[in-house]
Structure 1
Amino acid sequence: MIITRIKLENWKNFADVNVNCGKRMFLIGPNASGKSNFLDALLFLRDVAQYKLGHAVALRGGMKSIRYINARQHPDITIALTIDDAWKYELTFGTEKGKQVPIVIREIVKQRTEDKWKRILSRPNEEDENDPLRRTQTSLEQINANIKFRELYDFFATIQYRHILPQLVREPKAFSPAPVTNDPYGRDLVFSIAKTPENIRKARLAKINAALKAAVPNFEDLQVVRDNDGLPHLQVKYSHWRPQGAKQQENVFSDGTLRLLALLWSLFDADGPLLLEEPELSLHDGVVALLPGIFARIDKGRKKKVRQIFVTTHSTSLLSDPGIGSNEILRLEPGKEGVLVHSADEQERKLMQQGLTVADVMLPKTRPENLQQLSLF
């Protein structure tokens, strides 16, 4: 399943967004233009599904932190998705006057049957009128209420965000003594790899080892080992001047090695949308240029269903890949009425059809105005 359309109203720095999506999307724009906030709208629905509406709002600092700052006459927030052109889910939420507890203003679920959309949930309903407390919860988060669209619940629960911080992978206990699961920054990366069933783990690591061997000199034999206390570690053998090579574990891997390893593992890890923040960090430009192709090849090699990828990036090298289509780009542009999200226009599409790349055609439009003034600092 993939998200084919995203609509946002009054979400963070987006007043009104309505865009189509494919299975691979690259988000570009100036710093602080809202690329991470765009991804966070998808994560928000995951958190609503896995926890509850109030918890998802609290994680982000409350309604004031997530409501578009210039929302006045219509302050409610809407996140609406179309999935596989088979499901539509819309959640509009807000607060009552003088209160901070978020409540459901509108929740709608539609399913396509043949050529028609059938509404299978519409809130508020009579039960909400009889018990206003029900509006503090979405039907999505309630097992007894989402039975008719459990497929959506399962899909939202698989959404993953990854922005690996190498230092957290090397020393997870230094930052969090208690165990952490599904950490977007990598504190549980080694444990999550180690707990994967052995046959699946070995097959994935073999593919990752082949990719890393091409990117990291003398890198080979990636595997999971355990120390005397039974704790798992990633271990490789570097072939160099020693006859038998030298074994090293993740605590001495370079930043680039850890980020690339984590990125490749994430591509295999689940079925739902994968949200990647600037995967080019710490990587050589030559490796970065290959990432779009790696995404495509690994996706084709997956035994599971297609995995949708959203990538935020500033990288000229990554966006110079001629295989990136004009329909795979969302360009964010800050404006007086919130951030605008542009797909490629007709002229941009024509230029790319003639052989120019996203880096040639669309990336220059993300350059901040008056950037030359920075050199005067």
Structure 2
Amino acid sequence: MYISRVQLKNWRNFVEVDVPLHQRQFLVGPNASGKSNFLDVFRFLHDIAKPKGGGLQSAVDKRGGLSKIRSFHARNKSAEVFIRIDLSDFDREWSKKGGDKPPEWGYEIGIRTERPRSGAVVVSHEAVYRNGRKILRRPDRQDEKDPERLKQTYMEQVGCNEKFREISKFFSEISYMNLLPQLLRHSAEIQGKVVDDDPFGQNLAQRMQKTHKKTLETRLRKISGVVRIVSPGLDDIRPEPDGCGGYHITASCDNGGSKKNIRIGQGQMSDGTLRLIGLSWALLENSSVLLLEEPEESLHSEVVSVLTWLLNKALIWQKKRKRKQIFSSTHSPKFLSDGGVDAVEILLLTPPEDSGGGTKVCPLVDLRDIEVLLKIGEHVGSIATQATAPKNSLHIAAEFKD
């Protein structure tokens, strides 16, 4: 399955969003337009559904409370925050006949602050659809008798989600990777403090070590091949004991013509090498949806231009096992310049020109004159970045005047 549509109301930067999604989806927009907040919708659903430490209250608290989640463009402070996700079979995306068919699953959740003002967050709406037919709607009679039940979603409760556990499992398998090299490089000073779900790759070596040996060898062989091309002289990526009771990532390094190579640790690797290792591992890990933030960061422009091919290769490799969906934010036209990126795979995020509304989200394919631009040879990456560039970017240096 894949997420074929998302609808949002009053979520962070967005007052209202309703867009189709594809197996690969790229988010393009200026700084502070809400790319990270758009990705956080799916992390939020993961945090509700995950079996260990999950749940609605935990997911909201993790984000600083409902007041931090609700859009400041919302009409009032008690407005409902609403999310709807459609899940469809992968074959439907490429089927010309499947356009009018209802999605395989639909999940809706609305949340607001409980009244009177207790500060507690409650489910104001929860619904599940199976092939277009509603099979769950909340609040129900039991909720009316016992309002405390509304502090939990049915999705997070094993005793309540039997009929739609497939959705809960899908959400729980959503993953996020934005490896921060500094955290790996200074792991000794950090002393083992790791953010929940390890979104920044602090525990990447431990995750590698816990992987089944045969699977690990296959993944490391592929990762080493990528690193060997991008960082000549480095090879044989693998986790090794760090001497402090944990593990760190190491690589074989060409020792300047000596017959015997030396091994270096993650503290001696460049930012680009570490980010590439993290990206490659995330692409090979099992997940339903992989969320990426600007994977082009710290990489040479020529490497960036083939990253989408790397994504393609990973998706093809995963087809033999379990299909994956990838969402990625980017500021780089180079990242979108190859790999067969289609206009339907790019979402444009446009902030409001005044304070009266939220960020607008629309597919690049809906952009005015898009067909004309493509016919005259403009590439989708250039069109997308130009369409979302700040209007007065050339005046930035003038702000540093005497």
TM-score (norm 1): 0.94
CA distance in 1, matches of 2:245, 2:136: 49
CA distance in 1, matches of 2:342, 2:288: 22
Task: Give percent identity, aligned residues only.
Answer: 38
CA distance in 2, matches of 1:55, 1:180: 14
CA distance in 2, matches of 1:353, 1:328: 18
Report deviation, 1:134. Answer: 0.6
How many residues are paired up? 373
CA distance in 2, matches of 1:354, 1:206: 42
Report deviation, 1:356. Answer: 2.8
Task: Point out 4+ residue stretches in structure 1 off by more than 4 angstroms.
Answer: 178-181, 227-230
Indicate which of 357, 370, 376 corresponds to 1:348. Answer: 370
Contact 1:326 1:349 in 2 (8 A): no
* 1:332 corresponds to: 349
CA distance in 1, matches of 2:196, 2:120: 28
* 1:301 corresponds to: 317
> Bigger CA drift: 228-237 or 260-269?
228-237
Report deviation, 1:364. Answer: 0.3
* 1:58 corresponds to: 61
* 2:301 corresponds to: 285
Indicate which of 150, 162, 183 corresponds to 2:177. Answer: 162
> Bigger CA drift: 241-250 or 207-216?
241-250
2:82 pairs with 1:78: yes
Contact 2:286 2:322 in 1 (8 A): no
Assess, with a 3 A threshold, how the Cα gap between structure 1 residues 177 and 230 changes in structure 2: closer, same or farther.
closer
Residues 3-43 of structure 1: per-residue CA shift (max 9 Å, x gap): 00000000011000000000000000000000000001111
Residues 222-274 of structure 1: per-residue CA shift (max 9 Å, x gap): 22333556633322212233222222121211111000000000001122111
CA distance in 1, matches of 2:219, 2:284: 7
SS in 2 for 1:69: coil
Report deviation, 1:217. Answer: 1.2
* 1:93 corresponds to: 111
Pairwise mapping of residues 66-145 of structure 1 onto structure 2 (< 5 A)?
66-72=69-75, 75-84=79-88, 85-95=103-113, 96-112=115-131, 117-145=132-160
Indicate which of 334, 354, 357 corresponds to 2:379. Answer: 357
> Bigger CA drift: 178-187 or 241-250?
178-187
2:250 pairs with 1:235: yes
Q: Residue type matched to 1:369 in 2? A: K
Assess, with a 3 A threshold, how the Cα gap between structure 1 residues 130 and 353 changes in structure 2: closer, same or farther.
farther
Query: What is the aligned-residue RMSD (CA, Å)?
Result: 1.7
Contact 1:181 1:188 in 2 (8 A): no
SS in 2 for 1:154: helix
Structure 2: segments with no counterpart, 5+ residues: 89-102
* 2:237 corresponds to: 222
CA distance in 1, matches of 2:327, 2:337: 17
> Bigger CA drift: 367-376 or 272-281?
367-376
TM-score (norm 2): 0.89
Q: Residue type matched to 1:295 in 2? A: L
SS in 2 for 1:259: helix
Contact 2:177 2:290 in 1 (8 A): yes
Report deviation, 1:295. Answer: 0.3
Contact 1:218 1:238 in 2 (8 A): yes
